[in-house]
Chain A
Amino acid sequence: MVAGTVGRGVVVVSVAATTRGRFPWVPAYAVFEHYLVGLRRTWRAGVFSSFLLPVLTVLGFGLGVGAYIDQGVDGVRYLDWLVPGLIASTALQVTVGDSTWPVFSNFQWVKTYFAQSASPLRVGDILAGHLAFVLFRVLTTIAAFLLVTGLFGALPSPWAVATLPVVALLGLAVAAPTFAYTASVSSDSWLAMLFRFAVIPMTLFAGVFFPVESLPDALRWLAYVTPLWHAVDLCRAATLGVAPQWSIVGHLLYLAAWAVAGWLLALRAFRRKLVV
């Protein structure tokens, strides 16, 4: 395998074809794998918070606040009504968190993207691999959420598992444009702004805690524009086992449009930084 040894160091030009560089079969998967290896070091803290969050939510909001809401919402117990909203909004939080500072760091601090672009990977591979990892994080977090809330009996319908593909689509619809945004800003203070002016208002007004019908007309339409509301409506339909307010296809197409537009914007923003 190895040609021989010179002094202390092994001869590094090996004749074996196994270590000859070539274009990987699924290049984005190699990128995804990189982040998974990194996760091996940090997952413990993550797992703890992914279970703690739904437990606290069920106790605090569902049982605490829910005790004051006697008639529930549309005849549904408040906790059961709230949980699907929290599934979608938790997915949103994880997505935006993982699409901001880590992406910014890969450009500015650790410069991982630049190391990757010196390899055979193309810009699209680098982007797709990182997006796949964000989706992985969203899916594992929501799986934990489903497990805990299911044990608390807050998921009346077995259709609840359908929330997983929904949050994956929401993740893509939000992560792709957020990647584009993060790649375009010059300082990380712009990232905190995204939470203040997009994530928090969305979480408050897109039907997570109360029905959007309670909002004045203008605000209600703002809620409809956000990707979060569409995911909330789908998740609620799934966990309660009822029909959504909008057509399922309409919701899916709307979220897909965000994902496609976001992907194109992100690809352009990444190219601007990596191919200069």
Chain B
Amino acid sequence: MKRFGDFVAVDGIDVEVRSGEAFGFLGPNGAGKSSTMRMVGCISPPSGGELRILGMDPVADGPAIRARLGVCPQLDNLDPELTVRENLTVYARYFGIARRAARERADELLDFVQLSERADSKVEPLSGGMKRRLTIARALVNDPEIVLLDEPTTGLDPQARHLVWERLFRLKQQGVTLVLTTHYMDEAEQLCDRLVVMDGGRIVAEGSPRALIERHSTREVVELRFAAESQEPFADKLDGLGERVEVLPDRVLLYVPDGDAAVAEVSALGLNPANVLVRRSGLEDVFLHLTGRTLVD
């Protein structure tokens, strides 16, 4: 639990992350994801409840736990006055790593995040994706058992995101425990073995991506777009079709077990949508269903 004055940022969450798994915290902005990550990173003491990391108490054993964690913060805080390599070697020294070992480790990691050619360049001119990869490399200097990633690909272009995902997936294969926050559903589906959806400081759902889709959504979704100002009147006629009908300003969503069968029923009702799309249900449907479509800033 985390309280800031009267504001409760994290209001009683109960999770257990197993060694070697990739665990995700999903949620809209302000859901309490970052506050949770800061508590796990042992830089923010919980206001209540029990928290154990690697079997230790984050308040009493902060430095010992942090020695075994890797942290990739939401905003890059690399040192722009140092070179790419120096950013790693200097940081390695914080973990008691000898100078020579730090240099070897830095070269190893620069190769891993594909920045070897930029090793002696300054940080400033690097692209956003390169800076992010360097931050991830820095989080790995101490050979951590757990890596915390706060929105690892926010703000990156698609190529950069895929490269980061591929590297993180490789880490996971090597048995490193990954704990990440994200509001990208594709990221969660790609990387997470298990995840929780947070909203307003609480957990609203928990499970593997597949289990969550099965529990909180249907197998398929039919998107119907009617050529009219308002979709409302059509939605009323569709009431009762499938498990759930959702009306958006520009289309109607039908949550159904069988999309094609539902489309047949729609035409049987005498409705003629301008556009029909049948797709598989995804985490995004679960997410929006659980946390609502209202914009949170």
Instruction: Count residues on chain A whose CB falls below 8 Å from chain B CBs.
Output: 43
Does the CB pair A18–B77 fall under 8 Å? Answer: no
Interface set, chain A 189-219, CB cutoff 8 A to B: none
Q: Which residue of A lies closest to B42 (CB)?
A: A118
Q: Mark B268-296, 1 if CB is under 8 A from A, else 0.
A: 00000000000000000000000000000
Chain A, Cβ-Cβ closest to B111 = A10
Q: Within the assembled complex, what's the spacing in Å between the Cα atoms of A46 and B63?
A: 35
Residue ID in chain A nearest B75 by CB atoms: A111
User: Is B144's CB under 8 angstroms from A21's CB?
Assistant: yes
Are B66 and A34 within 8 A (Cβ)?
no
For B45, the chain A residues whose CB sits under 8 A away are 275
B67–A21 touching, CB < 8 Å: yes
Is there contact, CB below 8 Å, between A21 and B167? no
Is the beta-carbon distance between A18 and B98 smaller than 8 angstroms? yes
A107 to chain B, nearest CB (A): 11
Min CB gap B122→A, angstroms: 9
**Contact call A118/B66, Cβ cutoff below 8 A:** yes
Q: Does A274 contact B (CB under 8 A)?
A: yes
Identify which of residues 109-126 in chain A touch chain B, using a CB-to-CB cut-off of 8 Å: 110-112, 114-122
B107-130 interface with A by 8 A CB criterion: 108-109, 111-114
Residue-by-residue, is B44-62 near A (CB-CB < 8 Å gives 1, otherwise 0)?
A: 1100000000000000001
Q: B271 to chain A: closest CB distance in Å?
A: 52
Chain B 219-252 against A: per-residue CB contact (8 Å), 1 yes, 0 no? 0000000000000000000000000000000000
Interface residue? B176 (CB, 8 A): yes
Closest chain B residue, CB of each to CB of A33: B93
B95 touches A24 (CB 8 A): yes
Distance A27 CA – B66 CA, assembled complex (angstroms): 13
Rounded to whole angstroms, the CA-CA distance of A11 and B108 in the bound complex is 8
Is A246 part of the contact surface with B, judged by Cβ < 8 Å? no
Let me know if A16 and B94 touch, CB within 8 A. Answer: no
Most B-side CB within 10 Å, residue of A6, A8, A14, A118: A118
A37→B62 CA distance, assembly (Å): 27
Judge if B64 is at the interface, Cβ distance under 8 Å.
yes
The answer to the question of A250 belonging to the interface, with a C-beta cut-off of 8 Å to chain B, is no
Please report which residues of chain A, range 34-53, place their CB below 8 angstroms from some CB of chain B when the two chains form the complex.
34, 37-38, 41-42
* B142 in the interface (beta carbon within 8 A): yes
In the assembled complex, A249 has its CB within 8 A of some CB on chain B: no
- Expressed in whole angstroms, the minimum distance between the Cβ of A109 and any Cβ of chain B is 9
- Check if A56 is an interface residue, CB within 8 A of chain B: no
A8 to B142, CA, bound (A): 21
A2: interface (CB < 8 Å) = yes
Closest residue of chain A to B45 (Cβ to Cβ) is A275
**Bound CA–CA A75/B176 (angstroms):** 75
**CB <8 Å contact, B93 and A34:** yes
- Which residues of A, 1-26, contact B by the 8 Å Cβ criterion? 1-2, 6, 8-14, 16, 18-25
Q: Taking the complex as formed, is A30 at the interface, i.e. its CB lies under 8 A from any CB of chain B?
A: yes
Closest to B139 in A: A118
Q: Mark B63-103, 1 if CB is under 8 A from A, else 0.
A: 11011110101010111111000100111111111100110
* A-B pairs with beta carbons under 8 Å apart, 6 shown: A6-B170, A13-B175, A18-B101, A23-B96, A112-B77, A115-B78
Taking beta carbons and an 8 Å cutoff, which residues of A are in contact with B? 1-2, 6, 8-14, 16, 18-25, 27, 30-31, 33-34, 37-38, 41-42, 110-112, 114-122, 274-276
